[in-house]
Amino acid sequence: MTIEQRPLGRTGIHVSRFGLGAMVLGAWGNRDRAACLRIINKTLDAGINLIDTADMYADGENEEIVGEAITGRRDDVVLCTKFHYAVGDHDDPNRRGNSRRWIRQAVDDSLRRLGTDRIDLYQVHRPDPTTDIAETVAALDDLITAGKILAWGTSTFPAEQIVLAHWAAERRGQVGPHTEQPPYSILSRGIERDVLPITERFGMGVVVWSPLSGGWLTGKYSRSSPPPAGSRAATDPEHFDGGNEAKFDAVEQLSAIAAEAGVSLTHMAIAWCVEHPAVTTALIGPKTEQQLDDLLGAAELRLDADTLDAIDTVVAPGIDINPADAGWTSPGLSASRRRRPR
């Protein structure tokens, strides 16, 4: 198996066409630690070199698992993690967000859990409207100077916030974001309207998450039967749009396109994500070794023009079937921001 290596924006770092999204390894998914370690090492053995985690996944346990797994092979890994959310159950506003104060603590905590002296790509997990973006940019620039991180990026930022980050960096002669990590799948194509053109404009790498749209594009969900045990729809129904008829319709049509192309829906979906010229890497998130084996089957798959055109007839470019799949809602839409003071 040969997995294509691609430049990660203008960082000079090369990463595999698919990366490992480690979120479900640990308390948020597979609680068998030995199995999680095997999954990570098997992924690396297959030629995938990018591993993505975050400090808040299972309150830091996920970073610890990743750190343990890559012991002895750290130089083979492009290690990515994120900060922004609270780690642990607390309501301290100073232990979350994108402030310099929290970034300084969060990066040291992540380095300790990961068992390493540097993070290859440190990502801002979400925008923080309470913090001046210039403060965040300056703090991350300092971490690059200190050698604690090699590059930094944003995650699930709207296009205008990405532009503001670059402007803030340019005004002060600092390093702007090297990458963006947005949600992207056949069912959620909103980033094609503005985010991807902006990342191309600034020469950024793009690492996309949820290429299977939370499991929808595995074909495992049916109108006529309950969701499988252990699936996202079963374990987290409040955050899964299981009654979305438009998605059921789309998945049925996409399944027929995949069958015509002679591939599985799962393989077609993840291969489709990396066909976009602005996308560097798509994150796969296997919970089991069996799932990993299946996903690796798409490592060398390329989709022809007829298949890509057929997909566009089901979900048009730039369309999110469910706007909530964009992953972030502007606080400007809250009721308090829409009402005049009385």
What is the Cα–Cα distance from 59 to 36, expressed in whole angstroms?
A: 16
57 in active site: yes
For every residue of 257-312, DSSP letters joined together read HHHHHTS-HHHHHHHHHTTSTT--EEEE--SSHHHHHHHHTTTT----HHHHHHHH
Rounded CA separation 289/311 (Å):
29
> Backbone phi, then psi, for 172, in 5-degree steps?
-105, 5
Q: How far is CA 159 from CA 52, 154, 162, 200, 234, in A?
A: 22, 11, 5, 11, 33
Nearest-angstrom CA–CA distance, 245 and 256: 17
Q: Are strands 14-16 and 18-21 parallel, antiparallel or unpaired?
A: unpaired
Distance CA 280, CA 240 (A): 27
- Distance between CA atoms of residues 111 and 62, nearest Å: 13
- CA–CA distances in Å: residue 175 to residues 109, 142, 255: 23, 9, 43
Q: How far apart are alpha carbons 76 and 73 in whole angstroms?
A: 6
Q: How far apart are CA 218 and CA 220, in angstroms?
A: 5
CB 154 within 8 A of CB 181: yes
Q: Which of 57, 122, 184, 221 is catalytic?
A: 57
Size of the chain, expressed as the number of residues it contains: 342
Which value, to the nearest 10 degrees, does the dihedral of the CA atoms of residues 328, 331, 333, 339 take?
170
Instruction: Point out the residues that are catalytic.
Output: 57
